[in-house]
Amino acid sequence: MSILADTRVSRRSLLAGAGAFGLASMVNPKVSWSSDGPILKVRSYADIQTLDPCFRLAAPEGDITSVIFAGLVVTTPGDSWGWRPMAAETIKQLDPLTVAFQLRDNIGFTDGYGQMTAEDVKFSIERIADPANKSPYSGDWATLKEVEVKDKLSGLIHLKQAFAPLWTSTLPTPSGTILSKRAITELGGKMGVKPVAQSGPYILKEWLPKQRTVLV
């Protein structure tokens, strides 16, 4: 079982506009970029306060959560907007209110949290949508009815009404990242600045407040 090493974006793709560090940060004048061989350095305008996608407060946090936690899909690099499957083996809109997904069978969480399952997808999406959690990004899933688990690796996302931004500003963003249900439950329902059960193409190696964040 592996995390998503094969979806790792290249330094060239990042500089060209890939989704590994969010578009909002890339166009922000307070963000600067430099490269030194295989190392990409990004100077951000703010430090992280949480790495929980449900409660992220600013673009720099979204930039990091997007690459340490896998989503069903990920944005593609280039000048035009697009997406491709990430944790999903297949994903398809069956009708305006239904999206079917099948997870890859080799996506694992770090820290011994095992394989990513459809239950984790249901938990992660419904957690952001639930008004009781008061997520700043609950609007990304405002039209969600429920996520139906079909079996261990497949399910259906049911919407209450058609939602055009689903494939642009929801699924390929931190609001579409999948967390380990067991890990978040063991943490008491909320993650802080120390990520647990990572699954993305990068892993957080080091964070020194107001100094640096290192991903490998």
Q: What is the pLDDT of residues 139-157, one digit of tens each?
A: 999 999 999 999 999 999 9
CATH at residue 151 = 3.90.76.10
Residue 4 reports pLDDT greater than 90? no
Q: Which residue has the higher pLDDT, 187 or 20?
A: 187
Q: What percent of the chain has pLDDT over 90?
A: 71
The mean pLDDT of 122-143, rounded to a whole number, is: 97
The mean pLDDT of 84-91, rounded to a whole number, is: 97
Strand positions, DSSP E, the chain: 32-36, 39-43, 73-75, 83-85, 88-95, 98-103, 144-149, 154-159, 204-208, 212-215
* Residue-number span of the structural domain to which 191 is assigned: 5-215
Alpha-carbon distance of 107 to 142, in angstroms, equals 28
- Please give the model's pTM, rounded to 2 decimal places: 0.84
The residues, ordered by sequence, that sit 6+ positions from 30 with a Cβ below 8 Å of its Cβ are 44, 45
How many distinct structural domains can be found in the chain? 1
Alpha-carbon distance of 150 to 22, in angstroms, equals 32
pLDDT of residue 11: 38
CB atoms closer than 10 angstroms to residue 148: 14
The mean pLDDT of 113-127, rounded to a whole number, is: 98
Note the pLDDT tens digit of each residue in 169-211: 999 999 999 999 999 999 999 999 999 999 999 999 999 988 8
Q: Which residue has the higher pLDDT, 20 or 178?
A: 178
Alpha-carbon distance of 141 to 20, in angstroms, equals 22
